Amino acid sequence: MYGLVVLLCAVLYTSVTRLHNIYVHSENISIGKDAKQSSTYSTYPASMALDKAHAYYGSFTSQDNPSWWEVDLRGYFNISNITVTATSYSDWYIYMKNAFVEVMDKDVSLCSDVQGAWCGEVPNTLAAGEEFTFTCNATFPVRFVRVTRRSTSGIYLSIGHVDVQGEGTTKPYRSYYKPSKNKKVSEPFLTTSAMIAGDCGIVCHQHHSCIDFSFSATAPTDENCLLTDKALSSHHVNDNSWTTYTITCL
């Protein structure tokens, strides 16, 4: 069998409107997460837009069509609002105009059944360092946030800072896990026990931040189920009793 399937139902409700400089205080769930972009100009990678200390320069793409920036929240969340801030360096802020913000439940580059929701669009006129806060009408648990600029030709995208506010929720109605033999989670946030791999998968399912898990039928019973919320945190081991299950799309 290709993978384990975990089933649940979830409901997410948020309002849809465009706001300026208004914050709904919950938790910034984008700090320390995995960011990428369509390309990288010079030394301004996608990760800089997640660190407020680098908001002066932020992230910067080359001229792509479209140009996009994305953060993988490494878990599933109810989103209350998303704030994007223009850079303050020189005139780079103009490369955020007309950028639109959306949220998705799966990786659009891997999955064919992605659910998405529009959150808002930066106006055509803006100032250096200006903030724009949007709410999203997503009726599903969110894992990915993407900012995109489109053009008839190549176009830059520059973002000073992205702040995603939200709270953890349950996973989408289906999660598929691909097994990898002789691999073991090296940085678990939870070490527990399970009778079978499916039980370990249920424990992972109950923790909204759990992305991958490892199970061993022969390890000590209180240490045979390892849960992680970090990317690339598993490694090969010389023990064929361990299998790591990674969330993926079929």
Each of the 250 residues of the chain gets a pLDDT tens digit; together they read: 334 433 323 322 233 223 333 334 468 999 999 999 999 999 999 999 999 999 999 999 999 999 999 999 988 999 999 999 999 999 999 999 999 999 999 888 777 778 899 999 999 999 999 999 999 889 999 999 999 999 988 999 999 999 999 999 877 655 577 899 999 999 999 999 999 898 898 888 778 788 889 999 999 989 999 999 887 788 899 999 999 998 776 4
Number of helices and strands in the chain (H, E): 1, 18
In CATH, the number for domain 175-248 is 3.50.4.10
Instruction: Tell me whether the CATH fold assigned to 13-168 matches the one assigned to 175-248.
Output: no
Contact criterion met (CB below 8 Å) for 28 and 77: no
Amino acid at 195: M
- What pLDDT is recorded for position 249? 66
pTM of the predicted protein model: 0.71
Collapse the DSSP code of 133 into the 3-class scheme (helix H, G, I; strand E, B; otherwise coil) and give the result. Answer: strand
pLDDT of residue 173: 56
Per domain, the residue ranges of the chain are 13-168, 175-248
Helices (H), ranges, 92-217: 197-206
Distance from C-alpha of 32 to C-alpha of 43, rounded to nearest angstrom = 19
Residue partners of 75: CB distance under 8 A and separation at least 6: 29, 143, 168, 208, 209, 210, 211, 229
The amino acid that residue 183 corresponds to is K
- Return the H-helix or E-strand segment holding 159: strand 158-159
Give the model's pLDDT for residue 144. Answer: 95
Q: What is the pLDDT of residue 25?
A: 47
Query: Measured between alpha carbons, how far is 99 from 58 in angstroms, rounded to an integer?
Result: 15
Q: What CATH number was assigned to the domain covering residues 13-168?
A: 2.60.120.260
- The structure tokens 């914050």 sit at 23
Positions of E strands within 96-137 = 100-104, 116-121, 131-134
Using DSSP, state whether 151 is helix, strand or coil: coil
pLDDT given for residue 5 in this prediction: 38
Separation between Cα atoms, residue 158 and residue 81, nearest integer Å: 20
